[in-house]
Amino acid sequence: MKIIVVGTGFVGLPHAAVCSEYGHEVIAYDIDEKRIEAYRSGEREAIERYVNEPGLVSAMSKTSGRYLSFTTNLAEVIEGVDVVFMCLNTPPQRDGSTDLSYVTTAAHTLGELLAKRQEKSRVVIVNKSTVPIGTARLMESILNEHGVENFGVASNPEFLAQGSAIEGSRHPDRVVVGADNAEDFQLLRRVYSQFVNHVRIAYVETTPETAEAIKYMANSLLLTYISYWNGVGARLAETFPNILMEDLKVGVTADSRISKWGSYVSNGAGGSCFGKDIQSLIYQFKRAGQPTDLLQAVYGINEYQKQYIFDRAVHEAGFSFNNKTITILGLAFKKRTNDMRDSAALKAVESLLGRGVAHIRAYDPLAMDVAQSHWFHPDKNSLFERISYHESPAEALAGSDAVYISTDWEEFRGLSRTIMQTVPAPYLVMDARRMIPDYEALVAKGYDYLPVGGTLMKGEAV
């Protein structure tokens, strides 16, 4: 099959690489010439500057130049194409709705080119991005406007999590294909032949609207799980003495009907999908005149969770943030990524600055560059001037009054020793990821320990 992948970010590039592993001729297209040059170079560092996923570079190197190629010129490769995957950004707008401009612009470009094809064999345009219900129909009308012949539009949402995009593409839980036409289903069965009739992978053929809805429901349900654990599970263990978070988790999730995923309590879920998708779903329901109470509560609980521990620090630990120096460890929205989109650390910094802290000392093993460009402000009076960036946890801890652990990086598990060696008690440790299993050692030496999913452990007098 001849496949074009439009958009070579976190979804498009791994998808292109994995499709080419199955012997399809895959051409990955992007308007960004620098990206395409980097991908063509085959150099790890250059590729990972754009998409950093385990196994991606080796997957690309297996097929690059044979089944996998890269281009910035769609016109050159359009002839004879069977399937076009649209893997474009669908960022949120202020009112929660989805900005579809990248998708519609690409649809117009494609429409012009497909209309001029010499050979009019069947071509399917497939949406892989998360798009509002009805987007496949919208794309169909754009392609019709351009007079494209013999085409179909399908919806084939992507369920990949960051850090496991290659593994997730090779072994998905399910493949969902929404289309209108038997010929289009057939073409996509050929693309995904390794997954059709698989004993473990669900291959779902449905309408485009159902496929679009599956993605929104899956993501908002996952966020509901996380919010339930944060808003009910963690809260139980923070409110009533002698409730042990880990035991609560094991006991509740032992029921085979209850998901284990999502029970890891935290400072809320971040990333490029959950918040954006639930807001888009709320917006779509509101426009249709439907109530959105449950979804709004889930979104609200997740946002509140991103700074709730600071309220607890004031009320439970009697800590005052005014004029203090606070260390933040972890800026990325989860471990093994430098992505800070919707990260709890963003909310934390705003909240801390709003509470009058004098100085924030930040450290993250991967996200320092992203953080500096995010918080850099040309206006010298900016509050963000109060943030300094450090090379190690110890350097970031030095001279601070309290630490806030925001991301679940493995390296923070050994933090109690570093804390004891770097900052003297009395000192407050706010652990929003439950990263310090040996917190008792800290407490014994006079440090206050305040975890998500547990009551304050007051430092013992030494």
The whole-angstrom distance between residue 95's C-alpha and the CA centroid of its chain comes to 20
Of 133-141, 266-274, 278-286, 351-359, the window that binds ligand UDX (rule: CB under 6 A) is 266-274
Give the nearest distance from C-beta 146 to ligand UDX in angstroms. Answer: 31
Choice between 156 and 400, CB closer to ligand UDX: 156
Which of 36, 83, 123, 269 contacts ligand UDX by CB under 6 A?
Answer: 269
Retrieve residue 447's tokens: 């440090």
Q: Does 262 bind ligand UDX (CB under 6 A)?
A: yes
Single residue of 27, 160, 175, 282 touching ligand UDX by CB under 6 A: 160
- 308-337 binders of ligand UDX (CB under 6 A): 333-334
226-245 positions binding ligand UDX, by CB under 6 A? 226
Find the DSSP H helices in 64-207. Answer: 74-77, 101-115, 135-145, 165-170, 182-191
Which of 438, 433, 391 shows the shortest CA–CA distance to 416?
Answer: 438
Residue reference for tokens 């705003």: 350
Q: With contact defined as beta carbons under 8 Å apart, do 274 and 295 qualify?
A: no
Which of 159, 283, 404, 412 is close enough to bind ligand UDX by CB under 6 A? Answer: 159
Nearer to ligand UDX, 53 or 184 (CB): 53
**Side chain identity, residue 192:** Y
Q: Which of 273, 326, 366, 415 is catalytic?
A: 273
Running DSSP on this structure, what letter comes out for residue 308? H
- Edge-to-edge strand order for the sheet containing 123-127? 68-71, 25-29, 2-6, 83-86, 123-127, 151-155, 174-178, 202-206
Contact 363, 327 (CB under 8 A): yes
Please, what is the minimum distance in Å from the beta carbon of residue 214 to ligand UDX? 11
Using the contact rule CB under 6 A, the part of the chain among 61-69, 82-90, 121-129, 265-273 near ligand UDX is 265-273
Min separation Cβ 114 and ligand UDX, Å? 28
Q: Is 19 a catalytic residue?
A: no
Can residue 409 be called a binding residue for ligand UDX (CB under 6 A)?
A: no
Taking CA atoms, 317 is separated from 101, 240, 310, 418, 447, in Å, by 48, 16, 10, 22, 11
CB of 263 to ligand UDX, least distance (A): 6
Per-residue x/- mask for ligand UDX, residues 182 to 221, rule CB under 6 A? Answer: -------------------------------------x--
- State the Cα–Cα distance between residues 390 and 387, nearest whole angstrom: 10
Stretch that binds ligand UDX, among 47-55, 62-70, 94-102, 153-161 (CB under 6 A): 153-161
Structure tokens at 425: 């008690």
How far is Cα 411 from Cα 408, in angstroms, rounded to an integer? 9
User: Judged by CB under 6 A, does residue 63 bind ligand UDX?
Assistant: no
Let me know how long the chain is.
Answer: 462
Angle (deg, nearest 10), helices 344-354 and 368-375: 50
- Asked whether the beta carbons of 178 and 207 are under 8 A apart, the reply is yes
* Structure-token match 């310090």, residue found: 436
Q: Which is nearer to ligand UDX, 159 or 439 (CB)?
A: 159
Q: How far is the CB of 78 from ligand UDX (least distance, A)?
A: 29
Q: What tokens does 150 get?
A: 């013999």
> Least distance to ligand UDX from the beta carbon of 126, Å?
16
Q: How far apart are CB 205 and ligand UDX at their closest, in Å?
A: 20
> What distances in angstroms separate CA 276 from CA 90, 133, 219, one per listed residue?
9, 15, 10
Exactly one of 52, 162, 327, 416 binds ligand UDX (CB under 6 A); that residue is 162
Told to check if 283 binds ligand UDX by CB under 6 A, we report no
Residue from 266, 351, 416, 422 binding ligand UDX (CB under 6 A) = 266
- Binding residues vs ligand UDX (CB under 6 A): 159-162, 219, 222, 226, 261-264, 266, 269-271, 273-274, 333-334
**Residues tagged active-site:** 273
